Amino acid sequence: IKKLNWKDILEIFQEMIRKNYLDVRRMYRITGKAKLAIDFHDIPYYGKDDDLFITRGKPKSGTNKFLKIISIDIVERGRRFTLSIIPMNTFKSKRKVIKDLLNHIKGLVRIDCVLMDRGFQSIDVYKLFNKRKKNWITPVKKTAKIMSIMDECAKKNVWKTIYRLQCNRNYIDVRLLIYPTEDGDLVGFFTNMDVEPDWVARTYPQRWGIETGYRVKKEFRAKTCSTSFTVRLLFILVSVVLYNFWILLNVENHILGEKTITVRKVRITFRRILEQGIT
| Three-state secondary structure of the chain | CCCCCHHHHHHHHHHHHHHHHHHHHHHCCCCCEEEEEEEEEEEECCCCCCCCCEEEEEEECCEEEEEEEEEEEECCCCCCEEEEEEECCCCCCHHHHHHHHHHHCCCCCEEEEEECCHHHCCHHHHHHHHHCCCCEEEECCCCHHHHHHHHHHHHCCCCEEEEEEEECCEEEEEEEEEEECCCCCEEEEEECCCCCHHHHHHHHHHHHHHHHHHHHHHHHCCCCCCCCHHHHHHHHHHHHHHHHHHHHHHHHHHHHCCCCCCHHHHHHHHHHHHHHHHC
Q: Residue 28: pLDDT band by 50, 70, 90 thresholds?
A: confident
Domains along the sequence of the chain with CATH: 6-278 (3.90.350)
Q: Residue 2: pLDDT band by 50, 70, 90 thresholds?
A: low
Over residues 26-53, mean pLDDT:
88
Please check the confidence at residue 226 and state whether its pLDDT lies above 90.
no
pLDDT digits (tens, 9 = 90+) for 46-69: 887 777 888 888 998 889 999 999
pLDDT digits (tens, 9 = 90+) for 130-180: 999 999 999 999 999 999 999 999 999 999 999 999 999 999 999 999 999
Please check the confidence at residue 100 and state whether its pLDDT lies above 90.
yes
Q: Residue 26: pLDDT band by 50, 70, 90 thresholds?
A: confident
pLDDT digits (tens, 9 = 90+) for 253-268: 888 899 999 999 999 9
